[in-house]
Amino acid sequence: MQHDIWFNGTLVPYEDAKIHVLSHVVHYGSSVFEGIRCYRTERGSAVFRLREHLQRLIDSARIYRMEIPYTLDELERATLETIAHSGLTSCYIRPVVFRGMGSMGVNPLKNTVETVIAVWEWGAYLGAEALEQGVDVQVASWNRMAPNTFPALAKAGGNYLNASLVKMDAVLNGFTEGIMLNVDGYVAEGSGENLFLVRNGTLYTAPTSLSILPGITRDAVITLARERGFTVEETRLPREALYLADELFFTGTAAEITPIRSVDHHRIGQGTRGPITAELQEAFFDVIRRGNDPHGWLTPVPAPAATEG
Ligand code: PPE
């Protein structure tokens, strides 16, 4: 089903949420965006870490000198209104801010800044069985961008040209996803997910200085793991550490916590979801399915979304 889209302050029918082909974003990739999930918990519909995602959107826009004409509070209200209006009890939320009409040419400073919030139903990102069985991945031949090329802290549309090269290669080679190394050859992240490695009971993940996206799910998993007594180290890992891992998993809004069962045809652990991955998935599901929220990560969606469905 197609749901109304919030476009510069008003909800418009899906078919009417259009832009001109000469919009700056079409030619130069000048957009910043977010991916957020709303869950139907046992205590009603709620959005996972909404304000953190919207703050990252505002930060991404700031890096690219785009002035969003809405405050964080206004974007939060708009998001909740869009969900409630859709009648969906669970959904994926895609806010996007982009450069519109003005002038052609690389200089975007005279172009409009447009703000959109769309919602749709989106199931398991890496396949229906992935959350239990794990996925097969390869190390990508394309690197993550160098820190002085594109700002990695910005979740910008243009960054995903690199991500889609990684993803296409992986899929055409028969894998589900690709893992990027940074320019120095250290493990960075997937095309649309952060990555964790488990070895001898300790968790490892790349530091944000390796040009990864500072994932909000990554942050949640670090918190949940430390609460359960695990050590989590943000450190540089060489490629071959992937092959020696006891467990590997991706984190992301779309991917949630997805186990990896092989890398470059090296079997990881027993070739299925590992016990620490399962424990952290369980802790995550306790929040998003049961609605247990000791960290204040859930924002309830007002009726009618919470009651319909
Ligand atoms: N790294 C990248 C490159 C990335 O795109 C994402 C999210 C993450 C890490 C995880 O970040 P977070 O969602 O805050 O935990 N990718 C989004 C877009 C996926 C898409 O195909 O579109 C997402 O998961 O929503």
What is the tens place of the pLDDT at every residue in 241-252?
999 999 999 999
CATH 3.20.10.10 placement within the chain = 130-288
- For residue 1, the CA-to-ligand 1 centroid distance in Å is 24
Over the stretch 174-222, which tens digit does the pLDDT of each residue have? 999 999 999 999 999 999 999 999 999 999 999 999 999 999 999 999 9
Going by alpha carbons, the residue nearest to atom 3 of ligand 1 is: 192
Is residue 209 exposed (0-12), middle (13-18) or buried (19+ Cβ within 10 Å)?
Answer: exposed
Q: Is 198 in the pocket of ligand 1 (CB under 6 A)?
A: no
pTM for this predicted structure? 0.96
Q: Is 189 in the pocket of ligand 1 (CB under 6 A)?
A: yes
299 has a pLDDT exceeding 60: yes
Going by alpha carbons, the residue nearest to atom 11 of ligand 1 is: 215
237 has a pLDDT exceeding 90: yes
Over the stretch 100-144, which tens digit does the pLDDT of each residue have? 999 999 999 999 999 999 999 998 888 889 999 999 999 999 999
* Domain covering 130-288 assigned CATH 3.40.630.30 in the classification: no
DSSP state of 186: B
Q: Where are the beta strands (DSSP E) in 68-176?
A: 91-99, 113-120, 135-139
Ligand 1 nearest atom to the CA of residue 217, by list position: 15
Give me the mean pLDDT over the 152-169 stretch: 98
Please, which pLDDT band fits residue 308 given cuts at 50, 70 and 90? very low
Q: 14 in helix, strand or coil?
A: helix
Here the tokens at position 215 are 């994932």
Over the stretch 68-101, which tens digit does the pLDDT of each residue have? 999 999 999 999 999 999 999 999 999 999 999 9
* Domain covering 5-120 assigned CATH 3.30.470.10 in the classification: yes
CATH 3.30.470.10 placement within the chain = 5-120
Over the stretch 1-54, which tens digit does the pLDDT of each residue have? 699 999 999 999 999 999 999 999 999 999 999 999 999 999 999 999 999 999
> Is 155 among the catalytic positions?
yes
Sign of the dihedral through C-alpha 183, 187, 188, 192 = positive
Going by alpha carbons, the residue nearest to atom 1 of ligand 1 is: 193
- For residue 103, the CA-to-ligand 1 centroid distance in Å is 31
- For residue 155, the CA-to-ligand 1 centroid distance in Å is 9
Please, which pLDDT band fits residue 303 given cuts at 50, 70 and 90? confident
Ligand 1 nearest atom to the CA of residue 92, by list position: 25
- For residue 104, the CA-to-ligand 1 centroid distance in Å is 30
Between residues 34 and 304, the one the model is more confident about: 34
- Alpha carbons 57 and 34: distance in angstroms, whole number: 6
